[in-house]
Amino acid sequence: MNTPSSLQGKCAVYFTLGCKLNFAETSTIARQLAEAGVRKARTGEVADICVINTCSVTEVADHKCRQAIHKLVRQHPGACLVVTGCYAQLKPEEVAAIPGVSLVLSQNEKGVIVEKISEAAAGSPPEPVQLAGGESSVFVPSCSCGDRTRYFLKVQDGCNYFCTYCTIPFARGRSRNGSIASLVAQAKQAAAEGGREIVLTGVNIGDFGRTTGESFLDLLRALDEVDGIERYRISSIEPNLLTDEVIAFCAQSRAFMPHFHIPLQSGSDEVLRLMHRRYDTALFYNKVSRVRAYMPDAFIGVDVIVGTRGETAELYDEAERFIESLPVSQLHVFSYSERPGTAALRIPHIVRPEEKHERSQRLLAISDRKLYAFYEQFIGTTRPVLLEHSRAKDLYNGFTDNYIKVEYRGTGSDNTILPLRLTGWNEKKNALIAE
Ligand code: SF4
């Protein structure tokens, strides 16, 4: 058995595709390997170890993963190439068959990732890969600094919902979570390291508590008490799990920002039914209205999928009218992609690619208008901005409490929060200028 000390002195590159959860988990892997003596490879340096954390949300995502693997194999000949994440979990044999792949890690193996990589890097034959459909049941904690100012705290993993178009429950397993005590401890550690903002990540965050019997609301209450953390954001929450109590708590909390990301997926009740979503448009509208009533300045981002099976032209038009009527700030538009093994494949009506493209363009145009109108109303107001990414002298980027992207030229320092006046547009960057 090779010990992690066999990694001492090696260098690694990391590549992540997909969601914030994946980025958080890659940062955690990088930190664990750094503790075992693995440094990050310098630009242009051939690495000893490549770690690629994959996504499988669409067919395009699978393709991008394969491309990324091929590229890393070319750029780092002879490296120990480790593939993990949803694509690796769902299609381990396909991934293992790609020339140059040394190790395919399942979700459950993330808890012993350093040992596995150590064995593979030392040339031991890789363990047999886990077959598709294998159940992930371990909650592997992860709290990592995504950039200089923002931490990503994984509070939950997996999903029990099985929406008809989605493969995530197959890839990530059933819903599970860390305990409130352990998550508070991680938040305190992030504060001790200088973190000011934490984004709560997970697959179905509002379903928090399956493992421990605790409630999501109690988690928010406990995190709000952590000294030093001045901002929390909830990365995304299902509308049926965004309870009135959670909304009311965020509105009067010390540190939860007026910022929500709520997946709608379709503005047609019939399509929502085909998707096996657990709400209808009336519930969604009610939740958005309640957020607006409690936090009139809140940024509300909404995910929408176009071109799912069963979305006829009439149902799309109905959906578009509903989406247009929502008092939200931005849409995140995705085109439906056929995923093997999903129940959606049994729905007969298939949307042609050109129709999908056209619907996507229409919703993106609505999103642009909504984002413009949302930003515009804050010109002339002063909002707290967390300064980050100083790229040039005296130039900062940042986000307001309500998630307006700003550019600030002036005195300040990274990772500080300043009250800044929003004066106008930087159209090129889709940001507001702050003074
Ligand atoms: S809630 Fe639905 S779309 Fe979201 S991860 Fe679970 S199954 Fe997939």
User: Tell me: the pLDDT tens digits for 300-332?
Assistant: 999 999 999 999 999 999 999 999 999 999 999
Q: How far apart (Å, rounded) are the C-alpha atoms in residues 26 and 32?
A: 10
Q: Would you say the CB of residue 285 lies under 6 angstroms from ligand 1?
A: no
- Per-residue pLDDT tens for 261-291? 999 999 999 999 999 999 999 999 999 999 9
Using CA positions, which residue lies closest to atom 2 of ligand 1? 163
Q: Name the pLDDT band for 7 (thresholds 50, 70, 90).
A: confident
Residues 264 and 370 in one domain: yes
Residues 155 and 88 in one domain: no
Q: How far apart (Å, rounded) are the C-alpha atoms in residues 279 and 307?
A: 19
User: What is the Å distance from ligand 1's center to 124 Cα?
Assistant: 37
Using CA positions, which residue lies closest to atom 1 of ligand 1? 161
The full 3-state SS of 167-230, as one line of letters, equals: CHHHHHCCCEECCHHHHHHHHHHHHHCCCCEEEEECCCHHHCCCCCCCCHHHHHHHHHCCCCCC
Q: Name the pLDDT band for 405 (thresholds 50, 70, 90).
A: very high
CATH of the domain at 117: 3.40.50.2300
Among 166, 205, 210, 279, name the best residue to mutate to test ligand 1's pocket (greatest count of ligand atoms within 8 A of Cβ): 166
Q: Would you say the CB of residue 159 lies under 6 angstroms from ligand 1?
A: yes
Residues 223 and 298 in one domain: no
Residues 52 and 146 in one domain: no
Q: Considering its fold, how many domains does the chain have in total?
A: 4
pLDDT at position 124 is 59
- Per-residue pLDDT tens for 412-422? 788 899 999 99
Q: Would you say the CB of residue 162 lies under 6 angstroms from ligand 1?
A: yes
Average pLDDT, the chain: 92
pLDDT at position 119 is 82
User: What is the Å distance from ligand 1's center to 238 Cα?
Assistant: 9
- In a domain? residue 48: yes
SS3 99: coil
Using CA positions, which residue lies closest to atom 4 of ligand 1? 204
CATH of the domain at 251: 3.30.750.210
Are the C-beta atoms of residues 208 and 215 closer than 8 Å to each other? yes
User: What is the Å distance from ligand 1's center to 162 Cα?
Assistant: 6
pLDDT at position 129 is 44
Q: Regarding predicted confidence, which is higher, 392 or 128?
A: 392
pLDDT at position 204 is 97
- In a domain? residue 57: yes
Residues 18 and 91 in one domain: yes
Residues 16 and 44 in one domain: yes
CA distances from 241 to 63, 84, 127, 295 (A): 33, 29, 39, 18
Sign of CA dihedral 225, 230, 233, 239: positive
Structural domain containing residue 241? 139-256
- In a domain? residue 420: yes
CA 361 to chain centre: 23
Query: What's the whole-number mean pLDDT along residues 168-190?
Result: 95
- In a domain? residue 231: yes
